[in-house]
Amino acid sequence: MGAFAGLGELVFAGVLFVVAHLGISSTGLRGVLVRMLGERGYLGVYSLLAIVTLVYLILTYNTSSHAQFLWVPTHALRGIAFAVMPIAMMLLLGGFMVRNPTAVGQEAVLAGVGEGSGLLRITRHPFQWAVVLWAAVHIVANGDAASLIFFGSLGTLSLVGTFAIDAKKARAMGEAWSRFAAVTSNLPFAAIAAGRNRLVVAELWLPFGVGLIGYGLALWGHRYLSGVSLF
């Protein structure tokens, strides 16, 4: 536990961030707040809480010690991040290029989405899996306890969130959701591997290109976003 000494506030910020999201959106509290505030009022309060807890987590991470290492960061470990991040950026940006009933406000597209297209064939949660990959490789590349807590909180929320979203959509959409879930998958490539969907390479060229552009911009702007230069 010595590696985590002095990181109590960061642990608190990480737990607060995760609980503030899942403790509202994935429990009966959501329904209570919707009845009290209306759908728009609930979304406003939830969004504000999400922003406040995220900013608090980021500020706490930035002011925490990064000297407690769980393993030694090496060029090889950084290389893993450089190799995986283009995939994460493709999922992140390409996920917004398809109609996806799991996204906020896109529930109405469920009836016409069929087996999906593009990245939706790979996973019905491209954004969440992009965050999971992003968090995982940053933990591996940095090696310090503070990064494990910070990126682990973000990655955990996104990973658990995929299952929470599926459960919420199943309750709200019933049989229509069951048909969609039967031809798509949460775990990337699982539906394709099982023969329930198919990989259409032609549908991936645009998100792949946009992802590479986004990756290039992320490399260039990394020093401005995080204060750490990659080169």
Average pLDDT over residues 208-221: 92
In which band, very low, low, confident or very high, does the pLDDT at 114 lie, cut at 50, 70 and 90?
Answer: confident
Percentage of the chain modeled with pLDDT above 70 = 97
Percentage of the chain modeled with pLDDT above 90 = 63
**For position 1, what pLDDT does the model report?**
58
Of residues 171 and 15, more confidently modeled: 15
This prediction's pTM: 0.91
Average pLDDT over residues 15-27: 85
**For position 221, what pLDDT does the model report?**
85
Burial zone of 152 (CB within 10 Å; 0-12 exposed, 13-18 middle, 19+ buried):
middle
- Kindly tell me if the per-residue pLDDT of 80 is higher than 70: yes
Average pLDDT over residues 173-179: 90
**For position 165, what pLDDT does the model report?**
92
